[in-house]
Amino acid sequence: MDSQGFREAAATAIDEIAGYYDNLDDRNVVSTVEPGYLRKLLPSEAPVEGEEWTDIQKDIEGKILPGITHWQHPGFHAFFPCATSFPSILGELYSAALSGACFNWICSPAVTELETIVLDWLAKVLGLPECYLSTGPTRGGGVIQGSASEAVLTAMVAARDKYLRETVPLEQFPEGSEAREDAIAHKRSKMVALATTATHSSTKKAAIILGVRFHTIPVHADTNYSLTGPVLAKTLADLRARGLEPFFMTATLGTTDTCAVDDFAGIVSTLKSDPVHPAGSPGELWVHIDAAYAGSALVLPSVQEQVSISLIENFHSFDMNMHKWLLTNFDASCLYVRDRNWFIQALTINQAVYGNKASEGGLVTDYREWQIPLGRRFRSLKIWFVLRSYGVKGLQEYISRTIKLGEEFADQLKSRPDLFEILTGPSFALTVFRVAGKEQGKSEEELNALTKAVCEKINASGRMWVTSTVLDGRFAIRMVTSVRTTEKEHVDRAWKILVEAAEEVLKA
Ligand code: PLP
């Protein structure tokens, strides 16, 4: 395909994509194909001769779209959204066109510099404390990672390195000595990463990958599924009594099940008065804030205040996925650290082939030192396009609108206490509920079975998709209203489908 061929093919592709969005609501939300459907439709070998674009393009509608679950569909109320928007798609297009493995500044100065600038812009929009800005007092800054899972892994690597540096003294165990290797190996066997039962599984996965111990702190309905300071204090004491060394914890702003927010003030106060490694002293607990989904709502000053975002200046790293709720397509996980040296010290390995004058001059950022892979994509472009196209006001309007849809849906649930019981929320456009019946003497098992039946029935409609969870043994439906294309009419449609399903299931 030459540039003229590209011009023509791209025009038809863009036209088809725009049409897809115009008619998205006509499709079933969830793909209904059988496993293995595609193997039956495609040849078993790659073509020997190149094919015409028109032939390739027609297989999108005929072969690929049937196997797509439409995450941008207005009836998509499952999991959390996986955002996109037209400005973001355009950013992706330019990024692909300017493709490179831009790991060092010199590999494309614009790639590095735009990333630093837009992440500073974003930090200010979200109200993050100054220490997370690249221009802040502690030389912090942001880096775009592929996912929140990669972000927590990166933070945990840095936390492990910092903890070992601070607690295996160089005077006693000199650099490069066998004694140091032994001391580090022994300490590693005692190090434990913490999370709660509501924390996303990516923290556990990071601990497994790093080969450190992992401890789960139970949280329940009594604290609205959030971690409190006293519970953390007791956990630290119990682990240390067993000879273990807590070095890392993920606290969450918007948990996956219910959008709970951990008690930042309580955690800060517990860590300040920690009897072994008080905050700010060598060996302090590294706190990573996982705001993968709900972090987007920080565009609203009222949310910044509600969650006391200024308190995160006491923590070490913060991550949010623009690709969940902030109109930017996968992948755009924005990870911030309070002191860039924590990443650089843990992740820099020099190899002659990557040496260059700019890096050696020390005046540039080389993002390969802030991440696990070497190569990196030009992801800041789509963030830049989104921030400029929507403006802060546009982002605030969008987030407020979707939160309001969630509140209106929860009001509808409350209007039918004979059918539904809200378990949590609405919180950040997520409400978690189940079928009512406790007052009529229905057992937990019966309620679980009825709620499951309602969940299956509404999803079978094809018009909407919800996912479920289990809270303290209670099966519950999660209803999310934050997909960009979802409007009031779609939430009202979902409500109608839900009421009909619940009435039928309860009658049966
Ligand atoms: N953290 C939270 C709170 C999440 O809800 C999720 C996924 O939904 C993740 C982390 C993992 O996100 P990613 O797919 O970016 O790794």
Q: Give me the DSSP letters along 214-238.
A: EEEE---GGGTT---HHHHHHHHHH
Contact 355, 325 (CB under 8 A): no
Q: How far apart are the first and last CA of the chain?
A: 60
Cα separation, 274 vs 311, whole angstroms? 17
DSSP, res 73: S
| Residue 469, ligand 1, Cβ within 6 A | no
Token readout for 186 is 């022994």
| Residue 196, ligand 1, Cβ within 6 A | no
* pLDDT recorded at residue 438: 81
Coil, helix or strand at residue 33: coil
10-residue block means of pLDDT along the chain (508 residues)? 96 97 96 97 97 96 98 98 97 96 91 97 98 93 97 98 96 95 96 98 98 97 97 98 98 98 98 98 98 98 98 98 98 97 92 83 88 95 98 98 98 97 97 92 95 97 97 97 97 98 93
* pLDDT recorded at residue 127: 98
Q: Ligand 1: which residue has its CA nearest to atom 5?
A: 256
Cα separation, 475 vs 427, whole angstroms? 18
* Integer angstrom CA distances of residue 158 from 32, 276, 333, 417, 457: 43, 21, 17, 49, 46
| Residue 148, ligand 1, Cβ within 6 A | yes
* pLDDT recorded at residue 363: 81
Q: Which of 256, 258, 289, 478 to mutate to test the pocket of ligand 1 (most atoms within 8 A of CB)?
A: 256
Contact 103, 375 (CB under 8 A): yes
Q: Is the pTM of this model over 0.85?
A: yes
DSSP, res 294: G
| Residue 199, ligand 1, Cβ within 6 A | no
What's CA 45's distance to the chain center, in Å? 37
The letter for the amino acid at 213 is: R
| Residue 145, ligand 1, Cβ within 6 A | no
Coil, helix or strand at residue 245: strand
Residue 63 alpha carbon to ligand 1 centre in Å: 29
| Residue 252, ligand 1, Cβ within 6 A | yes
Residue 45: how many CA atoms within 13 Å on its side-chain side? Answer: 4
Please list the alpha-helical segments (H only) found in 43-147.
53-59, 86-97, 109-126
Cα separation, 464 vs 459, whole angstroms? 6
Strand extents, DSSP E, 189-321: 191-196, 213-217, 245-252, 286-290, 317-321
Cα separation, 254 vs 433, whole angstroms? 17
Cα separation, 191 vs 314, whole angstroms? 22
Cα separation, 242 vs 254, whole angstroms? 31
Contact 422, 433 (CB under 8 A): yes
| Residue 296, ligand 1, Cβ within 6 A | no
